[in-house]
Structure 1
Amino acid sequence: MWKELEYYKEYQNKLRAYVGKDKANEILSEALYLMSLGTNDFLENYYLSPKRQSQFTIQQYEDFLIGLAENFIRELYSLGVQKISLTGLPPMGCLPLERTINILGQNKCVKKYSNVVLEFNGTLNDVVKRLIKELPGLRLLFADAYKILDQIIKKPSLYGFDVVGKACCSTGKFQLSYLCNELSPFTCSDANKYVFWDAFHPTEKTNHIIVNSFLDKLLAYFRGLLSSKNNMMAFFIYLFGFRFCPYSVI
């Protein structure tokens, strides 16, 4: 994870060299940083790893990830970051891939995963509240994507969806990433009818609904903190899978 911080420090240096120290510091301090963590760590690095499960109980692993997230935020803060939106876990037990392999559960959502999600997100939200009190000037918001996606999954027709149990891509059960393209056999003709694009990721329509569900909250919380002279810029920093791209919001 610390490699991502090295990349960010490198970016800071390049920005200062390009626009000057004062302007760069202004841009960096007024940027909105969006962070997301946890899903891959649980589904791919814990539940699929007997070794990892022998090292940690699920509670210990939750605490381990929470600790990493907190340290990461503190390090960003020390680098001048002041505005962060943190997203926790989605209803990962309801992803098509997890439902597919839940044969004994009649391919329904994996209940134990849902319990982990609620506990993890609750603890993460508590950390957010504590860090706000401890770190002067920090504006940190917990953006809960779980609730809206859970509502979509439970009542898809209310959001204009027809299919929730499988994905649009190919068979809709196992296929991910590069296996999903125009050449994939059996891919649906209208992705807007599906909650999920592949066995792990929502469709564009679903993502649009999720973002709109908490965009007003984000803007209301951060807009007054942003300079009217500059566009608000968001830098996407995904823990354990770094993504970094400037995104103009206003």
Structure 2
Amino acid sequence: MPPSVIKVNCFWIYTSICLCCSQARVNIPRNGSVPALMAFGDSFMDSGNNNALITVNKANFPPYGRDFMGGKPTGRFSNGKTIPDMIAERLGVKDYLPAYLDPSIQDNELPTGTSFASGGSGYDPLTSKIANVIPLSDQLDMFKEYIGKLKRIVGEEEANNIIEKSLYLVSWSSNDWAITYDAVPIRRLHYDVPAYSNLLVNMATNFTQEIYKLGARRIAFFGTPSIGCFPFARTIGGGILRMCGDKFNEEAEFFNSMLKNQIQVLGNSLSLSRITYIDYYKLVQQIIENPQQYGFDVVDRGCCGTGVAEVAILCNKFSPTCPDDSKFLFWDSGHLTEKGYSIVVDHALPDLV
């Protein structure tokens, strides 16, 4: 595959986007083209907003964060940095993206962005209610509050400039399918897969229109990954051999196709926007199907505990961990290792800049 060409202000960057190349790291020069990063969504984007909640969806205890700075568990659902941290780092914005509800966050950190995401949440408000986490609507309210703070810190003109030029990451839907549609099949009683996909896409559309009204222009939607091949889904729906759960993947693919089409429509209707679809499904699946090419030995279970079921509070200080997490795609049964996220980000980044 020929290299892609990215133009960022006066810099031309040539980078291969071949998915069989695990070391194709992309680093964008620090040139101010992306002044800040904002993240909305679920545990793939949560930097610790769930820490103060009464919920089982937490990761602010060992062994989570063992490879983060100083080995500190921060509420990130991995052994180290996650997607928004790495994108912020690659773009030269900051070393990691703090959680908006982190009590230690300082005013001088806000102009370069923050995460409003909440592990366990979804487009569907029922999903967040089941998990007792921060729903989409509240994340949107947090963003509105953030804008007010930003105007007080840097002034209205500069705040508007930051909001307009920032990159917005959005990752919902995995919990909608895994929890609300399958594990606790409340929505399945009233919706078939096309109807539920349509419901979620409408919610994604409304969210996009709301943040666009608030000034957002560069928005990147991550589709549902191949959750049927995540360790927890293999355990639940993969039979004795723990094969990929086809039902989960079929639901994800159907929804992704609808979301991708709607993003094209939104891009045309919101004339000043640049809305991008990131094929999270394909990125993860290609790693799972070709693990050795990316330096992985294990892709069917996580590093934490037995690796087949442990996630959130089930992955704790009493859980044994694998000796070398760089050989594992998954950290726990529902989230990638830092290395796994890094590969995903490296291949997604050319579509973001």
Match of 1:48 among 167, 183, 204: 183
Give the superposition deviation at 1:105.
6.5
Give the superposition deviation at 1:181.
4.5
Which SS does the other structure have where 2:221 is aligned?
A: strand
Q: Which residue of 1 aligns with 2:307?
A: 172
Q: Please tell me whether the aligned partners of residues 223 and 256 of structure 2 are also in contact (alpha carbons under 8 angstroms).
A: yes
Matched, 1:85 2:245: no
Q: Which residue of 2 aligns with 1:68?
A: 203
Match of 2:329 among 195, 199, 220: 195
Give the superposition deviation at 1:58.
1.8
Q: Which residue of 2 aligns with 1:147?
A: 282
Which SS does the other structure have where 1:140 is aligned?
A: strand
Q: Which residue of 2 aligns with 1:225?
A: none
Q: Which has the higher contact order (CA 8 A, sep 6+)?
A: 1
Q: Which residue of 2 aligns with 1:162?
A: 297
Give the superposition deviation at 1:106.
3.1
In the TM superposition, 1:99-248 aligns within 5 A as 99-102=234-237, 104=239, 106-181=241-316, 183-185=318-320, 187-219=321-353
Give the Cα–Cα distance (whole angstroms) in 2 for the partners of residues 106 and 138 of structure 1: 46
When the two chains are superposed, the root-mean-square deviation of aligned CA atoms in Å is: 1.4
Give the Cα–Cα distance (whole angstroms) in 2 for the partners of residues 77 and 199 of structure 1: 35
Question: What is the letter of the counterpart of residue 85 of structure 1?
Answer: A
TM-score by length of 2: 0.60
| Worse overlay, 3-12 or 202-211 | 3-12
Which SS does the other structure have where 2:170 is aligned?
A: strand
Q: Please tell me whether the aligned partners of residues 194 and 254 of structure 2 are also in contact (alpha carbons under 8 angstroms).
A: no
Matched, 1:5 2:140: yes
- Return 5+ residue gaps in structure 1 as ranges: 220-250
Which SS does the other structure have where 1:35 is aligned?
A: strand
Question: What is the letter of the counterpart of residue 206 of structure 1?
Answer: G
Give the Cα–Cα distance (whole angstroms) in 2 for the partners of residues 139 and 211 of structure 1: 19
Q: Deviations over 1:96-132 (max 9, x none)?
A: 0110122536310011222222221111111111111
TM-score by length of 1: 0.83
Which SS does the other structure have where 1:198 is aligned?
A: coil
Give the Cα–Cα distance (whole angstroms) in 2 for the partners of residues 211 and 182 of structure 1: 28
- Return 5+ residue gaps in structure 2 as ranges: 1-135
Question: What is the letter of the counterpart of residue 328 of structure 2?
Answer: Y
Question: What is the letter of the counterpart of residue 216 of structure 2?
Answer: V
Q: Which residue of 2 aligns with 1:15?
A: 150
Runs of 4 or more above 6 Å deviation: none
Question: What is the letter of the counterpart of residue 351 of structure 2?
Answer: K
Q: Deviations over 1:165-203 (max 9, x none)?
A: 111101111111243355413x21101111111000011
Give the Cα–Cα distance (whole angstroms) in 2 for the partners of residues 164 and 4 of structure 1: 32
